[in-house]
Structure 1
């Protein structure tokens, strides 16, 4: 191939250094761009990123359309647009071949949520008689009680806990820090885990400060937390397909149902834009009615 790898590396370096994007996001961008390079290779199209034209990219997208859903198509088109905009910005190209290509229109997908009863059943389904069980309860309570992303939970450190002040420090997307209120009910389970399990463990080198460890003293993987939640859901008889993100969605939805301000939820979730948080208004439309009843001047 005609130096696609070097251009993709320059682009991902730019995203990492100047935009501060996470390793997971960079992997997704690279994966989408490599779909294009594989297509070019398979079709013996020896075209460089600075020479490829809109017709070539349209043919690629037409080839991919039956293989992926509308949401994945939109992400692929977004990745290509951003990549070629970067090439224009760096003056490798005069214009973007993606300029007139539009992504498919997507409906807003409402997040799956659990009821408070489901959350309680999920936690209660874990066997607390084992060390792993005590840890797993603390993990679920932290994911739900603080609305964490799974990547934030696996990197949470002992030094990020400030129980006296009632906060935890979280490092989110783009290495941005935020402080989230730590409810007494949530910290109770974290404290039990620390005092009965964590303080007696020998942590692996580099993970000495990590809160949640596996039996070998290493930080948990994202996949392991997915497994913990799915096994607990099976035992609790929850039929929905749920993930760590379901607990985060449930955290936000339950706060909104109980009258929390949307801006406060945005700050706790670490959403850069309020429009991302507004999806929870669609989950709980009763919040709109409560707002009118409480604040309309002619109620």
Structure 2
């Protein structure tokens, strides 16, 4: 079986398993790069040495995180091929990912959050901003929500995270007020929670990012602001207010506790208070 055929079957299998379109889009790029470098060869002919030489050639041009992403795709592809019995030996087993530096997520200060609030001009912008910040949802989770998903009486909503995992998240009263105003002001019949202003239809991830970018420009914050920073800021606020890491992990939909634990490093205010208390 040649690589391009393996990719098509791999992609179909992962679609059936519920992989997100974003993940498959990223993997498609990795597949194209792999085939371009090696040629559309038989998958059985690829050895561990072949893969190492490929990764070695591109390593100097990539960040460690990008190289890890490339390696994960290759390992996933060959693991699948072995499970499906297209190959008897998995040449990627011995390939190791480079160690990544532990980066502290960038978050916004309370003052920056307030400046962004003030920069929101319409009920739509206010509703979108408050929903992102008060739920801590990933942008990919928000774009798929419908109006009917919102439970205003409980101030909660069910979202589907990575791997189609379902979880309940909550929003505050401020967010509830702006969501209601936004929905009441709409005249379209679209079921999506957030729609485009012109020719209303469900917003895309890129369109939501653009809205947040426009709000940040108006706020005159000298920082490159994106929706995921609101998610980081949500976690930081919970940490600073004393929320246990297990609770934050559940609310954010983190599969691994290590992913949540990094936010503990952000809690400068809480650490200062504990230092003053115990030292």
Q: Normalization by structure 2: what TM-score?
A: 0.92
Aligned to 2:236: 253
Q: Shift of residue 290 of structure 1? A: 6.6
Paired residues, number: 278
Match of 1:51 in 2: 45
Offset from partner CA, 1:121-173 (integer Å, 9 cap, x none): 1121122xxxxx32111101100011111112222111111111221121222
Which residue is 2:170 aligned to? 181
Report matched runs for 1:55-74 at 5 Å. 55-74=49-68
8 Å contact kept, 1:112–1:242: no
Aligned ranges 1:104-253 → 2 under 5 Å: 104-127=98-121, 133-196=122-185, 198=186, 200-201=187-188, 203=189, 208-214=190-196, 215-253=198-236
1:21 to 19, 32, 41: 19
- Per-residue Cα deviation, 1:92-134 (whole angstroms, up to 9, x for no partner): 222221222222111122111001111111121122xxxxx32
Q: What stretches of structure 1 of length at least 5 have no aligned partner?
A: 128-132
SS of the residue corresponding to residue 37 of structure 2 reads helix
SS for the counterpart of 2:194 is coil
What SS does structure 2 have at the residue aligned with 1:178?
strand
Question: Within 1, Cα distance between the matches of 2:13 and 2:274?
Answer: 43
How far apart in 2 are the matches of 1:288 and 1:15? 43
Please give the alpha-carbon distance, in whole angstroms, between the structure 2 residues aligned to 1:234 and 1:107: 30
- What's the TM-score, normalizing by structure 1? 0.86
> Structure 2, unaligned stretches of length 5 or more?
none
C-alpha RMSD over aligned residues: 2.1
Measure, in 2, the Cα distance between the counterparts of 1:52 and 1:168: 47
Measure how far apart 1:287 and its partner are.
4.6
Asked if the contact 1:266/1:274 (under 8 Å) is kept, the reply is: yes
Contact map agreement 1:210 1:219 (CA 8 A) in 2: yes
Q: Is the 8 A contact 1:88 1:95 kept in 2?
A: yes
Residue number in structure 2 paired with 1:7 = 6
In the TM superposition, 1:69-80 aligns within 5 A as 69-80=63-74
Three-state SS of the structure 2 residue aligned to 1:27 is helix
